Amino acid sequence: MTLAERVAAAVDAAPIIDLHTHLFAPQFPALNLWGVDELLTYHYLVAETLRAEPKVTPEAFFALDKKAQADLVWASLFVRRSPLSEATAGVATVLAAFGLDPAAPDLREARAFFAERRVEDHLEDVLRLSGVSALAMTNDPTDPVERAVWDSGATPDPRFYTALRLDRLILTEDLAPELERWIARMRPRYLAISVNEVSAPPRAVLDACRDHGLPFAMMIGVRRAVNPRLGVAGDGVSTVDLTPLERLAGENPDVRFLVTTLARENTHPLCVVARKFANVLPFGCWWFMNNPSLIEETTMMRLEMLGPTFVPQHSDARVLDQLIYKWRHARRSIASALTRRYGAMPVPPTDAQIERDARALLGGIAKEWLGS
Ligand code: RAT
Ligand code: ZN
- Residue 146 to residue 148: CA distance in whole angstroms: 5
Q: Answer for the pair 200, 244: CB distance below 8 angstroms, yes or no.
A: yes
Ligand 1 nearest-atom number relative to CA 318: 3
Q: Say whether the ipTM exceeds 0.85.
A: yes
Determine the distance separating the centroid of ligand 1 and the alpha carbon of 316, expressed in angstroms: 7
| Res 7: pLDDT | 98
Per-residue pLDDT in tens (0 to 9) along the chain, 372 residues:
999 999 999 999 999 999 999 999 999 999 999 999 999 999 999 999 999 999 999 999 999 999 999 999 999 999 999 999 999 999 999 999 999 999 999 999 999 999 999 999 999 999 999 999 999 999 999 999 999 999 999 999 999 999 999 999 999 999 999 999 999 999 999 999 999 999 999 999 999 999 999 999 999 999 999 999 999 999 999 999 999 999 999 999 999 999 999 999 999 999 999 999 999 999 999 999 999 999 999 999 999 999 999 999 999 999 999 999 999 999 999 999 999 999 999 999 999 999 999 999 999 999 999 997
CA-closest residue to ligand 1 atom 3: 316
| Rounded Cα distance, 259 and 18, in Å | 14
Query: What does the pLDDT read at residue 326?
Result: 99
CA distance 182 to 159: 19
Q: Tell me, using a 6 A CB cutoff, whether residue 194 lines ligand 1.
A: yes
Report yes or no: 330 and 320 within 8 Å, Cβ to Cβ. no
Which segments of the chain are extended strands (E)? 16-18, 132-136, 160-161, 163-165, 190-195, 216-220, 222-223, 236-237, 257-261, 280-282
Closest by CA position to 314, among listed 284, 287, 288: 284
- The CA distance from 351 to 6, in Å, is 7
Are 186 and 162 a contacting pair, CB within 8 Å? yes
Q: What does the pLDDT read at residue 221?
A: 98
Q: Using CB atoms within 10 A of its CB, is residue 144 exposed (0-12), middle (13-18) or buried (19+)?
A: exposed
Q: For atom 12 of ligand 1, which residue has the closest CA?
A: 194
Which atom belonging to ligand 1 lies closest to the Cα atom of 22? Answer: 7
Through-space distance between the first and last CA atoms of the chain, rounded to whole angstroms: 34
pLDDT score of 364: 98
CB-based contacts of 11, cutoff 8 Å, min separation 6? 331, 334, 335, 338, 358, 362
Quote the ligand 2 centre to 193 CA distance (angstroms). 10
Q: Which ligand is nearest to the CA of 231?
A: 1
Distance CA 21, CA 138 (A): 6
pLDDT the model gives residue 293: 98
H or E element: which one contains 208?
helix 203-212
Q: Distance (Å, rounded) from C-alpha 180 to C-alpha 164?
A: 11
- CB 232 near ligand 1, within 6 Å: yes
Find out whether 347 and 117 touch, Cβ atoms under 8 Å.
Answer: no
For each of the domains in the chain, give its residue range(s) and CATH number, in order of start: 3-23+118-370 (3.20.20.140), 36-115 (1.10.2020.10)
Distance 98 CA to ligand 2 centre (A): 25
**Rg, Å, the chain Cα set:** 21
C-beta of 225 in contact with ligand 1 (< 6 A): no
Q: Is the CB of 288 under 6 A from ligand 1?
A: no
Closest by alpha carbon to 303, among 342, 332, 329, 346? 342
Distances (CA, A) of 39 to 18, 65, 95, 246: 19, 15, 10, 38
Residue 324 makes CB contacts below 8 A (sequence gap 6+) with: 93, 94, 97, 126, 129, 130
Ligand nearest to the CA of 222: 1
